[in-house]
């Protein structure tokens, strides 16, 4: 499997190993830089909580090209959002922008996920009960920019676990009228999950500019 794929899997899937079946942490809590390994991490391995020292470090140093503990916390504040678990379902989202990939030292996977042409979000959901695979992401999730709402162009699962589904959600950068979906005048962007677990709308919001 390609190294870039492992990065997204670590963001989305291994969170459930860290948190069990309880509330999921924000995606950056389990981000590791797969570029430092030729074969990538071993599936099912037990990732440790972030103690400020990353795998492969000596003392307090971080590997070249990998964000430090403080930098990762800052990236989490900027790019990751988590809701309050209404209806017994938690939603974690990471906005995978070119700026995020550059700051985290993973610009090489940008083309793989089309971040130059799409607004890309890594989504991880978790619940104690019920089947979240029945939730239609394409029909119910919208990118809200001001008074406009945009439907996703694609949703691709990276985990088809009924309690812990995860995947990559993409939205266009250019709207149906050839307008830029997000431009220099945009001050807020919201990812809206409609009709999930009996909640009419749960909104994850980013204030712009991010960087």
Mean pLDDT of the chain: 77
Q: Tell me, what's the pLDDT at 211?
A: 74
- Find out whether 102 and 115 touch, Cβ atoms under 8 Å: no
CA dihedral 125→128→132→133, nearest 10 degrees, is 100
pLDDT greater at residue 23 or residue 179: 179
Residue-wise pLDDT tens digits, 104-125 = 999 999 999 999 999 999 999 9
Proportion of the chain in helix, strand, coil states, percent, rounded to 5 = 25, 30, 45
pLDDT for the residue numbered 203: 98
Kindly list the distances between the CA atom of residue 123 and the CA atoms of 39, 96, 140, 144, in Å, as whole numbers in the listed order.
Answer: 25, 10, 14, 16
pLDDT of residue 100 exceeding 80, the answer is: yes
Among 2-6, 96-100, 125-129, 184-188, the least confident range: 2-6
pTM value is 0.72
Between 32 and 22, the more confident residue is 22
* Residue with tokens 């042409």, as numbered in its chain: 117
């Amino acid at each position: 499997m390609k190294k870039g794929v492992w990065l997204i899997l670590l963001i989305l899937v291994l969170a459930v190993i860290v948190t069990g079946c309880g509330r999921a942490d924000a995606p950056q809590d389990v981000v590791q830089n797969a570029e430092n390994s030729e074969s990538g991490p071993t599936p099912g391995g037990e990732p440790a909580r972030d103690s400020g020292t990353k795998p492969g470090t000596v003392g307090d140093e971080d590997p070249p090209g990998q964000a430090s503990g403080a930098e990762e916390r800052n990236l989490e504040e900027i790019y990751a959002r988590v809701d309050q678990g209404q209806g017994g379902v938690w939603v974690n989202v990471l906005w995978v922008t070119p700026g995020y990939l550059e700051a985290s030292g993973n610009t090489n996977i940008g083309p793989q996920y089309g971040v130059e042409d799409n607004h890309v979000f890594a989504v991880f959901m978790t619940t104690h009960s019920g089947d979240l695979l029945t939730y239609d992401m394409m029909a119910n999730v919208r990118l809200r920019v001001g008074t406009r709402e945009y439907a996703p162009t694609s949703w691709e699962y990276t985990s088809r676990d009924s309690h812990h589904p995860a995947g990559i959600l993409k939205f266009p950068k250019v709207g149906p009228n050839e307008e830029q979906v997000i431009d220099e005048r945009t001050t807020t962007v919201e990812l809206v999950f409609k009709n999930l677990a009996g909640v009419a709308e749960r909104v994850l919001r980013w204030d712009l500019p991010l960087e």
